[in-house]
Structure formats: structure tokens, C-alpha cells
């Protein structure tokens, strides 16, 4: 079962990817984790990726695909995997398909967690982070007992720059320009499935399980 998770930043696709991985006994793979593991282990691919990252440059698509395909060779991927945060662009998707085709494999499902932009802005701008211990809260969905104070350590809560409405809107703009076309790409391949990400996360997961089967 080879799955790609799609969805705007803040749509909750990472949470769903973890739940899928747990239920179906397949690894949850994010490119960030792959980069960190390869750099930490001093692999040749990791050293190449680090060169770009140290210069603040994006790692080229070919190298990212090489790292991802290399990860698929690990024993825990024998029953499949959930890819989260990759591919992000059409060239990455095409490169991934080409590399998978070379080893006789294809993606089974691309699942899009659909959430309107205004919901995402509301969700993310309601997040608060503790300056002391790093705990995160939400003014609507997960409020603290005392306004503006962390339940765990009592330190002040802040709205991170990443979660400010203008930053969120900018990230959504980039997403729609680069990643949204992937939905059409995977629709054309007949593997695209969509779930409503505005409902409770347990209900989102139930909809995904319905698609994948028990």
C-alpha cells in the first residue's frame, strides 16, 4: 500500500499520515526525516543534500527522489509506506513515477485532505506556543486554563511568526501555485481520493480507512 498525502499546510495531513502508518503497519516517511537521517549517518546522498542545505538552497528534485527511493529499500517498506510532504511539484511527481517504474512499482493512492483557505487561516492563527517549554495550544480547540499562560510551566504564550495570518496566506499562495496541480496529475492517473478535512480528525481518519479498506 503506497500512499501519498496531499493537502495545504495546516490541513492536518501529517496527523492523518501518522494514524495511517500506525493502523496499517507501514512507515510514515517525510523528506525532512530522510534528510536528517542521511546527514546524521554520513551517507553519500546525505553529504550531497547537506551541501545545498548549508547554502540555504533547495535540494534538487533528482537528489530528493534518489533519497526517497533509497528509503523505500529499507525492510520496513516491504508492505508500503505513507509519503508526507513529497512530492510537492509536478517535476518531483514525474521523477518519482519514473524512479518507481524502474523498480516495477506505482503509487496506489494519493489522498487529499481538503480544507478551505479561510479555515486554515483560522486554525493556524489560533495556535499559541509556550516560550518556556514549547507546548502548543489553540485558543478555540485546545485553550489553556489561564488565558495566555502555559498549563505545564506557567510561561507566556505567543503567536509564532509562522502562524500569523499574513504568513499563512503566503504559504497557501505558494501551495496553490506549486502543489495544487498535483491533484490534477494524480486524478489523471486514477489514484486521487479526497476527504473532507474540516470535520473532526477521527472522522477524517474514518473516511480514509473507508478508502483504503480495513
Residues 6+ positions from 27 with CB-CB distance below 8 Å: 21, 74, 76, 77, 81, 82
Distance CA 125, CA 120 (A): 8
Residue 48, helix vs strand vs coil: helix
Name the pLDDT band for 141 (thresholds 50, 70, 90): confident
Please identify which of the residues 2, 71, 123, 127 carries the catalytic annotation: 127
The per-residue pLDDT for range 117-134, each reduced to its tens digit, is 999 999 889 999 999 998
Per-residue model confidence (pLDDT) at position 87: 93
Among this protein's residues, is 128 annotated catalytic? Answer: no
pLDDT over 90 (residue 171): no
Please identify which of the residues 13, 71, 123, 128 carries the catalytic annotation: 13
| The model's pTM | 0.82
Among this protein's residues, is 13 annotated catalytic? Answer: yes
The domains of the chain are located at 2-115+174-212
Among this protein's residues, is 145 annotated catalytic? Answer: no
Q: Is domain 2-115+174-212 classified as CATH 3.40.50.300?
A: yes
Among this protein's residues, is 36 annotated catalytic? Answer: no
The per-residue pLDDT for range 46-86, each reduced to its tens digit, is 999 999 888 888 788 889 999 999 999 999 999 999 999 89
- Residue 5 CB neighbours (<10 A): 25
Span 112-121, mean pLDDT? 94
Question: What are the E-state strand segments in 73-196?
Answer: 81-84, 109-114, 127-130, 136-138, 157-158, 192-196
Please identify which of the residues 18, 122, 171, 193 carries the catalytic annotation: 171
- DSSP character for 10? T
Among this protein's residues, is 127 annotated catalytic? Answer: yes
pLDDT over 90 (residue 17): yes
Per-residue model confidence (pLDDT) at position 210: 96
Amino acid at each position: 500500500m503506497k500512499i501519498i498525502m496531499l493537502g495545504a499546510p495546516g490541513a492536518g495531513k501529517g496527523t492523518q499520515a501518522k494514524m495511517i502508518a500506525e493502523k496499517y503497519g507501514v512507515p510514515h516517511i517525510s523528506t525532512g526525516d530522510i534528510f536528517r537521517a542521511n546527514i546524521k549517518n554520513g551517507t553519500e546522498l546525505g553529504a550531497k543534500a547537506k551541501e545545498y542545505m548549508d547554502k540555504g538552497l533547495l535540494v534538487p528534485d533528482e537528489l530528493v527522489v534518489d533519497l526517497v527511493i533509497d528509503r523505500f529499500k529499507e525492510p520496513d517498506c516491504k508492505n508500503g509506506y505513507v509519503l508526507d510532504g513529497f512530492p510537492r511539484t509536478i517535476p518531483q511527481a514525474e521523477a518519482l513515477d519514473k524512479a518507481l517504474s524502474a523498480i516495477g512499482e506505482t503509487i496506489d493512492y494519493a489522498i487529499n485532505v481538503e480544507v478551505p483557505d479561510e479555515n486554515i487561516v483560522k486554525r493556524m492563527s489560533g495556535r499559541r506556543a509556550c516560550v518556556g517549554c514549547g507546548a502548543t495550544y489553540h485558543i478555540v480547540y485546545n485553550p489553556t486554563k489561564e488565558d495566555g499562560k502555559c498549563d505545564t510551566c506557567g510561561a507566556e504564550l505567543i503567536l509564532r511568526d509562522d502562524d500569523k495570518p499574513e504568513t499563512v496566506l503566503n504559504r497557501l499562495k505558494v501551495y496553490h501555485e506549486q502543489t495544487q496541480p498535483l491533484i490534477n496529475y494524480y486524478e489523471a492517473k486514477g489514484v486521487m481520493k479526497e476527504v473532507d478535512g474540516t470535520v473532526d480528525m477521527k472522522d477524517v481518519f474514518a473516511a480514509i480507512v473507508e478508502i483504503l479498506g480495513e
